[in-house]
Structure 1
Amino acid sequence: MFTDSHCHLNYPALADKLPEIRAAMAEAQVDRALCICTTMEEFGDVHALATTYDNFWCTVGVHPDTEDMTEPGVQDLLDRAALPRVVAIGETGLDYYGMEDRKGGRSVADLEWQRERFRVHIRAARACGKPLVIHTRSASDDTLAILREEGEDGSSGQAGGVLHCFTETAEVARAALDRGYYISFSGIVTFKNAQYLRDVAAFVPLDRMLIETDSPYLAPMPYRGKTNSPAYVPYVAKQIAAVRGLPVEEIAALTSANFDALFKGVVS
Structure 2
Amino acid sequence: MLIDTHAHLNDEQFIEDQEAVIERAQAAGLQYIINVGFNHETIPTTLELAERYDFIYAAVGWHPQDAKDMNPEDLQWIEELTHHPKVVAIGEIGLDYYWDTSPREVQQEVFRQQIRLARKVKMPIIIHNRDAHEDLLTILREEHAEEVGGIMHCFSGSWELAQECLNLNFYLSFGGPVTFKNAKRPKEVATQVPLDRLLIETDCPYLTPTPFRGKRNESAYVQYVAEAIAELRQLPVEELGQITSENAKRLLGLP
Question: What is the TM-score normalised by the length of structure 1?
Answer: 0.91
- Structure 1 127/15 Cα, relative in aligned 2: closer, same or farther at 3 Å? farther
**Could you tell me how far apart the structure 2 residues matched to 1:211 and 1:62 are?**
22
**Does residue 1:77 correspond to 2:66, yes or no?**
no
- Structure 1 135/143 Cα, relative in aligned 2: closer, same or farther at 3 Å? same
Note the C-alpha offset of 1:74. 4.1
Q: Report the counterpart of residue 176 of structure 1 in structure 2.
A: 165
**Could you tell me how far apart the structure 2 residues matched to 1:40 and 1:87 are?**
19
- Structure 1 15/84 Cα, relative in aligned 2: closer, same or farther at 3 Å? farther
Q: Which moved more, 1:52-61 or 1:66-75?
A: 66-75
Name the amino acid aligned to 1:192: K
User: In 2, are the aligned partners of 1:58 and 1:88 still within 8 Å (CA)?
Assistant: yes
Which consecutive unaligned segments of at least 5 residues does structure 1 have?
none
Q: Give deviations 1:19-67, integer Å, cap 9, x for gaps.
A: 2112211222122100001103321110011111000000111111125
**Does residue 1:111 correspond to 2:104, yes or no?**
yes
**Does residue 1:194 correspond to 2:183, yes or no?**
yes
| Cα RMSD for the two superposed structures | 1.5
Q: SS at 1:92's partner residue?
A: strand
Q: Residues 251-262 of structure 1 correspond to what in structure 2 (within 5 A)? A: 251-262=240-251
Q: Report the counterpart of residue 147 of structure 1 in structure 2.
A: 140
**Does residue 1:138 correspond to 2:123, yes or no?**
no
**Could you tell me how far apart the structure 2 residues matched to 1:207 and 1:68 are?**
36
User: In 1, are the aligned partners of 2:68 and 2:106 still within 8 Å (CA)?
Assistant: no
Name the amino acid aligned to 2:227: K
User: In 1, are the aligned partners of 2:93 and 2:127 still within 8 Å (CA)?
Assistant: yes
Note the C-alpha offset of 1:18. 2.0
Q: Give deviations 1:88-110, integer Å, cap 9, x for gaps.
A: 1010000111xxxx448x9xxx4
Note the C-alpha offset of 1:114. 0.3
2:192 to 203, 221, 226: 203
**Could you tell me how far apart the structure 2 residues matched to 1:246 and 1:207 are?**
14
Q: Give deviations 1:174-223, integer Å, cap 9, x for gaps.
A: 00101111000000101112022101001101100100000000100000
User: In 2, are the aligned partners of 1:74 and 1:123 still within 8 Å (CA)?
Assistant: no
Equivalent residues, number: 254
Name the amino acid aligned to 2:200: I
**Could you tell me how far apart the structure 2 residues matched to 1:195 and 1:95 are?**
22
Q: Residues 1-268 of structure 1 correspond to what in structure 2 (within 5 A)? A: 1-66=1-66, 69-72=69-72, 74-97=75-98, 102-103=99-100, 110-152=103-145, 154=146, 158-264=147-253, 266-267=254-255
Greater helix fraction, Structure 1 or Structure 2:
2
**Could you tell me how far apart the structure 2 residues matched to 1:181 and 1:263 are?**
12
